[in-house]
């Protein structure tokens, strides 16, 4: 099949491109490199089944060669990036999504939207299941992303109702692994980089808030299973093993034998107190659940960041 991955040079997108190529597909990677990194796909450029197109999905995109599937991942995904230009973030999730849906319709392609657990906001129930409608602040600093992704889901389902399109919607929970950016502001990368440097580890709030971390390889497997299923979604993809932020920091310090100390700062506005997926639907309908343990995944990502920091010296 010929598959287009928008946001394909990003952290998750580049892993997805690799996996699809390993399965024998032709892959078109579409990215404006706003948060993506060409280094993530450098090793793929000599593969005859791979092509890179520099393009922002906010602008219309046309391609003549038949496209069978589209994975839409194009959107800044960490607060430090999506809050840098909130209007552009909203545009990516509205105008950009409309452009990708239009492309899929023109090619009669299946299309998957990488939505997010952020659609649940600061949840009042835990774990979060797909039928939970969320508690989102529509005017807060995170709304450009939270509400943008919610609107993207609405667009997907309206296109399906209006045009009978084959759509898929997944809600991605916290994901980590090699190729994460050093400065993306995500908790996992922040903690590991600070621990490797021996700097104080910054915890926002008292550290009692929870997250659940899914290794990127497991997530990509779930994405592909979803695309090739009969499901429409939304379907949660994430690791259901919940951990407090403070415990995560302590585990990283111990694993890396770091001398870092914990320091505490004010919790940002609308930062979720709990984040844990109910993956019953993914387990029963996709036969999917994460396989990589947190300890195993921490080994992979720590080695990656250690090498990256060495290269920057």
Using alpha carbons only, give the angle 180, 185, 186 rounded to the nearest 5 degrees.
Answer: 60
Q: What local confidence, expressed as pLDDT, does residue 137 receive?
A: 92
Q: How far is Cα 97 from Cα 76, in angstroms, rounded to an integer?
A: 13
- What's the confidence (pLDDT) of residue 84? 84
What is the mean pLDDT of the segment spanning 182-210? 92
**pLDDT of 34:** 87
CB count within 10 Å of CB 133 equals 10
Domain ranges, ordered by start, for the chain: 2-175+214-237, 179-210+241-275+292-311
- For 2-175+214-237, CATH gives 3.40.50.720
Report residue 73's pLDDT band, with 50, 70 and 90 as the boundaries: very high
User: Strand, coil or helix: what is 293?
Assistant: coil
Fold matches, 2-175+214-237 and 179-210+241-275+292-311: no
Got the DSSP string for 33-59?
-SS--GGGGGGGTT-TTEEEEE--TTS
* pLDDT for the residue numbered 116: 97
Q: What is the mean pLDDT of residues 113-129?
A: 96
Domain 179-210+241-275+292-311's class?
alpha beta
Quick: pLDDT tens for 135-159. Answer: 999 999 999 999 999 999 999 999 9
Tell me which DSSP letter residue 238 carries. S
Output the pTM of the full model. 0.96
- The proportion of the chain whose per-residue pLDDT surpasses 90, expressed as a percent, equals 89
Which whole number is the average pLDDT over 293-299?
95
Average model confidence (pLDDT) for the chain?
Answer: 95
Condensed to tens digits (0 to 9), the pLDDT of residues 172-186 reads 999 999 999 887 888
> Is the model's pLDDT at 102 over the cut of 70?
yes
pLDDT > 70: percent of the chain? 100
Residues marked as catalytic:
145
Residue 312 predicted with pLDDT over 90: no
pLDDT on residue 313:
67
306 backbone dihedrals φ, ψ, rounded to 5°: -60, -45
**If you average pLDDT over residues 199-220, what whole number do you get?**
96
């Amino acid at each position: 099949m010929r598959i287009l991955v928008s946001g394909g040079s990003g952290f998750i997108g580049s892993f997805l491109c690799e996996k699809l190529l390993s399965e024998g597909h032709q892959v078109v990677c579409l990215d404006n490199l706003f948060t993506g990194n060409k280094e993530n796909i450098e090793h793929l450029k000599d593969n005859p089944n791979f092509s890179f197109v520099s393009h922002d999905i906010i602008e219309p995109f046309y391609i003549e060669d038949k496209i069978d599937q589209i994975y839409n991942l194009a959107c800044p995904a960490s607060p430090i990036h999506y809050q840098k230009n909130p209007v552009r973030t909203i545009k990516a999730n509205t105008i950009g999504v409309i452009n990708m849906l239009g492309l899929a319709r023109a090619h009669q392609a299946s299309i998957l939207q990488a939505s997010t657990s952020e659609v649940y906001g600061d949840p009042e129930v835990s774990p979060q299941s797909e039928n939970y409608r969320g508690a989102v602040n529509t005017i807060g600093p995170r709304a450009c992303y939270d509400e943008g992704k919610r609107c993207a889901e609405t667009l997907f389902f309206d296109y399906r109702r209006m045009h009978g399109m084959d759509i898929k919607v997944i809600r991605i929970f916290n994901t980590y692994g090699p190729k994460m950016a050093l400065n993306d502001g995500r908790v996992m990368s922040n903690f590991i980089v600070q621990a490797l440097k021996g700097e104080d580890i910054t915890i926002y709030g008292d550290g009692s808030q929870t997250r659940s971390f899914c290794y990127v390889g497991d997530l990509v497997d779930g994405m592909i299973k979803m695309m090739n299923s009969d499901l429409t979604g939304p379907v949660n993809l994430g690791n259901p093993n919940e951990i407090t932020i403070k415990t995560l920091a302590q585990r990283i310090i111990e694993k890396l034998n770091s001398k870092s100390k914990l320091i505490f700062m004010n919790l940002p506005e609308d930062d979720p107190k709990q984040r844990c997926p109910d993956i019953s639907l993914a387990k029963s309908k996709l036969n999917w659940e994460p396989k990589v343990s947190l300890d195993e995944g921490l080994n992979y990502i720590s080695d990656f960041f250690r090498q990256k920091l060495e290269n920057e010296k």
